[in-house]
Amino acid sequence: MTMSSSSSLAEVAVVVASALNDAGIDVVLTGGACATFYSGGTYLSNDLDFIVRRGGTRRTLDQAMLRVGFQRDGDRYVHPGTIFFVEFPRGPLAIGDDLKITPVVLHLAGGTVAALSATDACRDRLAAFFHWSDRQSLSVAVAIARKQSVEMSTIQDWSQKEGFVASFQEFARAVQGP
C-alpha cells in the first residue's frame, strides 16, 4: 500500500505499523487515533501515537520510518504526502497506573495494527477528563462506549481506583443518554 494525500488515517496506520513490524519493532497504537477509529469519526485525530514495546531505538525507528517516506522532525515523523504524522511517546503502555494493558489486533484498511482495545481507548480518554476536566475527552469516551462493546465494569473499577467515582457516574449517565 502506498501513501498519498488522499490516504486515510487508517491506511497510514497500517502502512506505518507494517513497516515497523517488518523492522522487528513491536508497537501498539494508542491515543487519539484509537479514539478516532472506535468513536466512528466523532473525534478526528491527525496524529498516530505508537508506544514501542520492543526493538525500537532512535536509529531503527528513523530507518523503518524512512522506508515508508516519513522523516523525523524533532520528536515527530512527517511525510510530504500526508497530513498525518507519527509520534512515539515514551512507554510503558499504561492507563493511569494500570500497566496490565492487553492490546488487540485492529483490522483496518486491508491490514492490521496492534492497538488499544475499545475499553482501554475509552479509559484513555476518560483519564484526560478525570485529570484535566477535558470535556471533549468525555464526549469522545461516551461516543466510544455507545458505538463499541466496552467493559463498563472494568472502567468503573479503574475509575474507582483512580479516585474518580463521581466523574465515572457522569460518564455512565451520558452513555445511557437522556
Partner 1 sequence: MVMNSSPFGGEARTRTLVALGLLGQSYPRELARLLAAPVSGVQAALRGLERDGLVAGRLIGRTRTYQLEPRYFALKELQPYLARLSAADPDLTAAVEGLRRRPRRSGKPL
Show the 3-state SS of 86-125: EECCCCCCCECCECCCCCEEEEECCEEEEECCHHHHHHHH
Task: Select from 8, 24, 41, 131 the one that contacts partner 1 (CB under 8 A).
Answer: 131
Our CB check for partner 1 shows the closer of 22 and 87 to be 87
Whole-number CA gyration radius for the chain: 16
The verdict on 57 binding partner 1 (CB under 8 A) reads no
Our CB check for partner 1 shows the closer of 31 and 114 to be 31
Question: How far apart (Å, rounded) are the C-alpha atoms in residues 104 and 143?
Answer: 19
Question: How far apart (Å, rounded) are the C-alpha atoms in residues 33 and 50?
Answer: 10
* Minimum CB–partner distance for residue 3 and partner 1 (Å): 26
Fill in the per-residue mask, 73 to 102: x = in contact with partner 1 (CB under 8 A), - = not in contact: --x-------------xx-x-xxxxxx---
Residues that bind partner 1 (CB under 8 A): 75, 89-90, 92, 94-99, 127-128, 131-132
